[in-house]
Structure 1
Amino acid sequence: MSHWITSIEGTEAGAQAALTLALLAAVLHAVFGALQKGRHEPLLARGAIDASYGLMAAPIAFFVVPWPEPHMWPIFAGAFVIHGCYKLAVLGAFRRGAFTVVYPVMRGTGPLFTVIGAWLIFGETFNLLQWLGVAVLLLGLYGLAAYNMARVTIARDTLINGLLFAVLTGLFVAIYTTYDAYGIRATADPFTFLAWFFFIDGLLFPVLAARFYLRLADRPALGPLALRGIIGGLVAFASFGSVMLATRLDQVGEAAVLRETSTVFAALIGWLFLREPVGPIRAGLMALIAAGAVIVEVAG
């Protein structure tokens, strides 16, 4: 698999594989977001998920993939810090604002900053039509956030702070997307980066979640929390792993934009499986998100 990935880098086959991986990441990221917003406190859910994928990645990192080159250790340390800050920003947004408001803002801010970061670091450029696609996608995402914000009735007193954390989260999404693209391109075997990334990234939040859990007066049952963590860990492997591989195979900015169609897939999941109403306005805004992503891909 590693040989096949490296053999199609920069080719038309690589671009098609990157497109498929980015869309797969979008679908799975919608599932991942739903797992984090469930009935468990976000820090507990995140800790369970991180513990699961850290434990799953450990034997692969130590015994299956090639050992990382010496220059990779500072890169892993940087990824550990960046992803830790990103998760803290996500928790700040989820705790202060309604999910339907802060999530589109998180996802909308990320691709804009990522496209700029990919230009600064990798020299990637978007043509005028692709920038039009980015604008259409952002219009749909921020429009969806504004539409939901006008109707939300919970946590309105902390909503502004929640939105500020959502913008900060979007900034960290851009930073980690660009940084991870640099990291996965810096090693000979992309699966070396993935295995060690998930192992190292799974070290911090289980500790924070355990300390929080022990301070609770009314502690939730560990069985359902562990099950959510295992499912979330498997989804995280497929979701984040897919988008990281996509950034190695093709342009970082295009992969970042395509991943943000996760908002559309999240709404579809809610409509199909949770019987949540969509309505014509939300459907139109989601169509803008999808249209923006299509424009970016086709124009590229």
Structure 2
Amino acid sequence: MAAAALHAGWNALLKIGLDRFLTASLIQIGAGLLALAALPLVAMPSAAAWPWIVLSALLHIGYNSFLARAYQHGDLGQAYPISRGSSPLIVALLSVLLLHDSLSAGQLAGLLILVAGIWLMALRGGHSGRLENALLFNALMTALFIAGYTLADAAGARANRDALSYSLWLFAVNGVVMACVIAFQRGPRVFRQLGAYWRSGLAGGLMSMAAYSIVIWAMTQAPVALVSALRESSVVFALLVGWLFLKESLPVMRLLACAVIVLGVVLMKLA
């Protein structure tokens, strides 16, 4: 739940940015700089973990790209739930097949109820009350990349047997990769533009790194599908951030969706 709150916080910073992709890149670079500073405190990842770190860094490029595009076509209360709420179903299916995780009937029921609440929030979340095709496509593509890097990082952290080492090296590599991507796309001068927002980049990077490091550790302790679903309860925090700071609406259906999400969390805990 702490990871969920932190994740909603840095996604709110992404929505505020004038250029969504640049803002997402800035946050990842900020996280990378913080991770680089902490690398002397942790061990080098094992050889078995490195392919997963590289794969995850590449998948994060697609994630940042489609997430930024999704926010161009919908508000935080709609784009965020669709992108975050669709991935747990993909993760649940693939984690059972690829990572040999298992879920009880009660855990699966809680997961499905939580996802249903997220989608209820998305369907009733936009100012227009309708889902634009561009928003839906980009948000679902974001969900695919989320599922991809989630499974990669679960496999990598388990292979490494040290979640903190894996997480810090992942963020360091990801920061370098994102810096190279925006330099290639926008030219070296783009870093002058980002310099004015370094405080937001470091703040968002810290929240992003803390949130996902918690998730990576949790995936070494529990089934990936449950961790993925619980992380997406961040939509509740995103709803509050959107309402309090971004002046987005808070209709009754969104509050009902929150209640459904909480019910799903409780069922997963009790199962």
User: How much does 1:220 deviate?
Assistant: 6.0
Structure 2 unmatched ranges of 5 or more: none
Q: Which whole-Å CA distance do the structure 2 matches of 1:72 and 1:33 have between them? A: 27
* Identity of matched residues, %: 30
The yes-or-no answer on 1:105 pairing with 2:67 is no
TM-score (norm 2): 0.89
- Any conservation in 2 of the 1:181–1:252 contact (CA below 8 Å)? yes
In structure 2, the residue matched to 1:237 is 209
TM-score, scaled relative to structure 1: 0.81
Could you tell me which residue of structure 2 aligns to residue 297 of structure 1? 269
Quote the Cα distance in structure 2 between the aligned partners of 1:141 and 1:250.
Answer: 22
Of 17, 21, 44 in structure 2, the residue corresponding to residue 39 of structure 1 is 17
How far apart in 1 are the matches of 2:113 and 2:12? 25
Mapping 1:134-145, distance limit 5 Å: 134-145=111-122
**Number of equivalenced pairs:** 270
CA distance in 2 between partners of 1:298 and 1:289 (Å): 14
Shift of the 102–122 alpha-carbon distance from structure 1 to 2, 3 Å rule, reads same
Deviation at residue 181 of structure 1 after TM alignment: 0.8
Code of the residue aligned with 1:88 in structure 2: it is: S
Which position in structure 1 is the counterpart of 2:163?
190
Aligned-residue offset at 1:291: 1.1
Q: Is 1:28 matched up with 2:28? A: no
Distance 2:242 2:78 in 1: 15
Confirm or deny: 8 A CA contact 1:82 1:172 kept in the other structure. Answer: yes
What RMSD, in angstroms, separates the aligned Cα atoms of the two structures?
2.5
Amino acid at match of 1:160: N
Of 235, 257, 263, 2:229 maps to 257
Q: Tell me how far apart the structure 2 counterparts of residues 145 and 297 of structure 1 sit (CA, whole Å).
A: 24
| Residue 33 (structure 2) aligns with | 55
Unaligned runs of 5+ in 1: 1-22
In the TM superposition, what are the counterparts of 1:1-300 in structure 2 within 5 Å?
Answer: 23-61=1-39, 63-149=40-126, 151=128, 159-210=132-183, 222-223=195-196, 225-272=197-244, 276-299=248-271
CA shift for structure 1 position 236: 1.1
Query: In 2, distance between residues paired with 1:46 and 1:89?
Result: 11
State how far apart, in whole Å, the 2-side matches of 1:73 and 1:285 are: 39
C-alpha deviation, 1:172, in angstroms: 1.6
CA distance in 2, matches of 1:30, 1:294: 20
SS of equivalent residue, structure 2 residue 46: coil
What is the distance in 2 between the residues matched to 1:191 and 1:132? 31
C-alpha displacement at 1:206, in angstroms? Answer: 2.6
8 A Cα contact 1:85 1:172, kept in partner: yes
Deviations 1:74-133 (A, max 9, x none): 222212222222222212322333332221111111111111121112222223332222
